[in-house]
Amino acid sequence: MVIKPHYKPGSDPSLVFYGSAIYDFLSPFRKAQNQWAARYIVVIFSIIIRSAIGFGAYSGANTPPLYGDFEAQRHWIEITLHLPLKDWYWYDLQYWGLDYPPLTAYHSLLLGKLGNLMNPAWFELDSSRGNESIDLKSFMRFTVILSEVLIYIPAVFRFTRWNGKQIKQQPIDQTIVALAILFQPSLMLIDHGHFQYNSVMLGFTLLSIVHLLYDNYMLASIFFVLSLGFKQMSLHYSPIIFFYLLGRCIDFQTPSSSGATLISRINFLRLMLIGISTIVTFIVLFAPLIIFGDFQNFLQSIYRIFPFQRGIFEDKVANFWCFSNIFIKYRTFLSQEKLQLYSLILTLTGFLPAGILILINPKKSLLPWALAACAMSFFLFSFQVHEKTILIPLLPISLLYSTKNNDIIAMISWINNIALFSLWPLLKKDGLALQYGASFLLSNWLMGNLSFLTPNFLPKFLTPGPSISLVSEKNKKRHGLPSNWFWDLVILSSYIGIGTIHILDFYIIPPSRYPDIWVLANISLSFGCFGLFWLWIYYKLFTLRKVTY
């Protein structure tokens, strides 16, 4: 039985997800009295999928002596729970020494207090190393979900609510967009499969963005410092946050006669309050390191947080340095210091145009675009990047699901798929191939990228809801591909490349001379797509700079 939809395809421009599973699932709750239930359904569904991913393997499972990221997170709980604060950044640095800012340590301590109530053996000092018991794994998985439910998920709903009001989007459509953002497969697989707490950092960043949108500049500054205080990778957003806040404190004027941009007024009070809130938050986070230790303890934390001695990239990552290193062996003729300098120059060149634009045009609707351009510049060109760093640009990129433009949504869906593919070598190493494939299919089905399968290839009784089976030819096409022949060619070619690389990786053992050939093929394709997408972001950023809000 096919249910008649509320709208004909294309009759309402806000229904950008018409013809997708997420629209089918949530559109029956369009009535005002039912919309609260839709939000609970989204949260519960998110928890169920994340829990299902958590049944799989994780980083370092059954691989002594160092194991992997799961053991690192468990070990940090162990040392923060049992050692005085002054020893946190010094203890046994060869075995997963703490190398994140203090808020990660405080978070670990809080989780340790909770876990210690359940089973003290999970986190006994030294003797608990390598503990992989089922009950411990269940507890650790639970803490990731709990952290995400408390910080990241509410931030997503707050963002979609603000954006929905700006573009006059119905509440149920705001919830649909929230579900699209929450089902970003890369974040789910890294946090709930591989095992990390990236959603905490991203949640604080998103709360900072939300408060910027609501003009709460002091709260925005505080939340961004909390993000920095949890993981230093959020520095990749900091230039745009800085330029946007500065732009909100300075009024620029362009006289028609000269065409030059001039400063007409500076809001010194706002600038001072932003500075004070930022400095005070940093002091609150780092002061315990000095109070319960000494200044050397503070310096040690900084040294651990910024390990420039590690190298320009880790493992195989789809950025400029790792890709070009296939052909140019930089380490054979460039010192570490030179590599750091060149990466700094390239990174500055990459993000400064976005920073200057958002400084002169601090428009709220441009903020996700500028953040995406900046974070992608860091991923492509900066020093000390690993595969998981792609999660940083994916946050502002995924926020663009909130647009009404179907071409943009098609581009965002595509780059999310490319990002997931770029993580394949890591996820394969972790034993998460099943979760990888299932997440790819689920996320694309939810987004409507597989709607071409119905009604052409499936009988109507297998269609899950009203819109997919009734969707017009125009609406079927718009979800998978943008209305641009160049990008259609790029996207289709990239998917053919992904399929080919997976088939070769599965069936053909790499030659001994080139053991990483399929990994290098992965990063080459991914880097090419990331580079093109980065240029597209800049194109959109400059074409949208005259927006009204």
Position 15 pLDDT exceeds 70:
no
Highest average pLDDT, of 220-229, 306-315, 338-347, 469-478, comes from 220-229
| Mean pLDDT of the residues in the chain | 90
Which three-class secondary structure state does DSSP give residue 2? coil
What is the arithmetic mean of pLDDT over 65-74? 95
Per residue in 388-408, pLDDT (tens digit) is 999 999 999 999 999 988 899
Closest CA to 10 of 402, 473, 379, 461: 473
Range from 55-69, 334-348, 450-464, 507-521 carrying the lowest mean pLDDT: 450-464
pLDDT of residue 2: 40
pTM of structure? 0.93
**Residue 222 and residue 537: Cα distance in Å, rounded?**
28
Per residue in 288-343, pLDDT (tens digit) is 999 999 999 999 999 999 877 666 666 789 999 999 989 988 888 888 889 989 99
Range from 96-105, 252-261, 381-390, 488-497 carrying the lowest mean pLDDT: 252-261
pLDDT of residue 546: 78
CB 249 within 8 A of CB 118: no
For residue 116, the one-letter residue type is: N
**Residue 130 and residue 374: Cα distance in Å, rounded?**
38
Highest average pLDDT, of 264-273, 319-328, 365-374, comes from 365-374
What is the arithmetic mean of pLDDT over 431-455? 87
Range from 75-79, 203-207, 477-481, 486-490 carrying the lowest mean pLDDT: 477-481
**Residue 171 and residue 266: Cα distance in Å, rounded?**
38
Closest CA to 69 of 149, 140, 152: 140
Position 194 pLDDT exceeds 50:
yes
**Residue 88: left if φ>0, alpha if ψ -120 to 50, beta else—which one?**
alpha
pLDDT of residue 475: 47
**Residue 381 and residue 376: Cα distance in Å, rounded?**
8
Range from 88-97, 149-158, 270-279, 470-479 carrying the lowest mean pLDDT: 470-479
**Residue 532 and residue 516: Cα distance in Å, rounded?**
24
pLDDT of residue 10: 39
Position 485 pLDDT exceeds 80:
yes
Kindly state the DSSP code that residue 391 receives in the 8-state scheme: H
For residue 127, what pLDDT band results from cuts at 50, 70 and 90?
Answer: very high
pLDDT of residue 300: 96
Q: Which distant-in-sequence residues (6+ apart) come within 8 Å of 501 by Cβ?
A: 518, 521, 522, 525
Which three-class secondary structure state does DSSP give residue 55? coil
Cα–Cα separations (whole angstroms), residue 255 to 131, 260, 261, 264, 543: 67, 7, 7, 11, 21
The residue that leads in pLDDT, 21 or 155, is 155
What is the arithmetic mean of pLDDT over 28-41? 85
**Residue 325: left if φ>0, alpha if ψ -120 to 50, beta else—which one?**
alpha
What is the arithmetic mean of pLDDT over 161-169? 91
What is the arithmetic mean of pLDDT over 520-531? 97
What is the arithmetic mean of pLDDT over 66-89? 96
For residue 243, what pLDDT band results from cuts at 50, 70 and 90?
Answer: very high
For residue 487, what pLDDT band results from cuts at 50, 70 and 90?
Answer: very high
For residue 457, what pLDDT band results from cuts at 50, 70 and 90?
Answer: low
pLDDT of residue 368: 97
For residue 246, the one-letter residue type is: L
For residue 490, the one-letter residue type is: V
pLDDT of residue 476: 46
Position 461 pLDDT exceeds 70:
no
